[in-house]
Amino acid sequence: MSYNLRMDVYSILVLTHIIGTALGVGAATLAEVFYLKAMRDGVVDPMESEFLRVLYTSMRIALVVLVVSGFGFFILYRVVGATELLYSPVLWAKLTIIGVLMVNAIALHAHKMPFAIGVAISITSWYAALTLGVMRGIDASYISIMLVYVVVVALAIPALAKIKTIYLRRHGIN
- What's the pLDDT tens digit per position in 79-129? 988 888 888 899 999 999 999 999 999 999 999 999 999 999 999 999 999
The pairs formed by 127-130 with CB atoms below 8 angstroms and a separation of 24 or more are 127/25, 128/97, 128/152, 129/21, 129/24, 129/25, 129/66, 129/94, 129/97, 129/98, 129/101, 130/21, 130/25
Residue range of the domain that includes 16:
3-170
- 43-71, pLDDT tens digit by residue? 889 999 999 999 999 999 999 999 999 99
- Residue 4: predicted pLDDT: 59
What was the pLDDT predicted at 44? 86
Confidence of residue 3 (pLDDT cuts 50, 70, 90): low
The total domain count for the chain is 1
Q: Which of 29, 9, 27, 31 has its CA nearest to residue 19?
A: 27
